[in-house]
Structure 1
């Protein structure tokens, strides 16, 4: 059997005012920054690169939030929390607009079903890690759970 999974990473970036960084994608509307991990690249390097490319922000990864898998396309999405440490916000080919918003506004701005579900998980983290599996077209959660770290 040949395996053909793809991996993406995303980060919920916080600033000192406890606002989160969102970008407006040409394809999916408002979302948090992230993208595909390139061959030979670490998850952490991919996340830092994607955030910088899409928003201009420099970040420090502060935590692991969760993981989800598209069972139709075999894409695994890994979500992290990040702290803004510098850089000037800027748009790119992948971002029409970039801005800081409060958490409630973020939930109202993000409308793409998968992105909204992941954002809800990102904003409700605590002592648990989220794991869910989904079908994208139409969006449907197939299995989901929250797990504690450790044994």
Structure 2
């Protein structure tokens, strides 16, 4: 399934769903962040995805990170809440989702880096390596907030 991110696009289709989702800002001992290159649009992103019924929201970040990267993580905090109605995600099946994402801070606790059906590349990258990568502006904001290590979560 393909995906198009619309950010403040007046020509974007109307949203027809909201799905709580998470991303995990996972850092290693060298301060690099774990990123995936998405298989659905080629952009680089934090690992994450939609919340499943019967699951705690932090467990969504743990599950999605394992599925997309092969790593086991431990959630250690909240970076922010991202609910900008100007960010719409259009899927090839007709779903147009309004953004609703919680960004968690996390650390790796096991596993081995691996790609998946959702990730064509998985890498540890330093902040200085990100400018040249295709990263959606909303995701770039989450990454910047993760590196900033603010005391209070972002709410926006």
Taking structure 1 as the reference length, the TM-score comes to: 0.78
Where do 1:18-57 residues align within 5 Å? 18-26=31-39, 27-57=41-71
Superposition CA RMSD, Å: 1.7
1:58 aligns with 2:72: yes
| Large movers: runs of 4+ above 4 Å | none
Gaps of 5+ in 2: 1-16, 87-96
Q: Report 1 or 2 for greater relative contact order, CA contacts < 8 Å, sequence distance ≥ 6.
A: 2
Give the alignment partner of residue 91 of structure 1, picking from 81, 103, 115: 115
The aligned counterpart of 1:125 is: 149
Residues in 2 aligned to 1:9 and 1:99: alpha-carbon distance in whole angstroms? 19
What is the deviation of 1:110?
A: 4.7
Q: 1:21 deviation in Å?
A: 0.6
> Unpaired segments of 5 or more residues in structure 1?
133-151
For 1:65 and 1:38, how far apart are their aligned partners in 2?
A: 21
Task: State the TM-score, normalizing by the size of structure 2.
Answer: 0.76
The answer to whether the Cα contact below 8 Å between 1:110 and 1:116 also exists between their aligned partners in 2 is: no
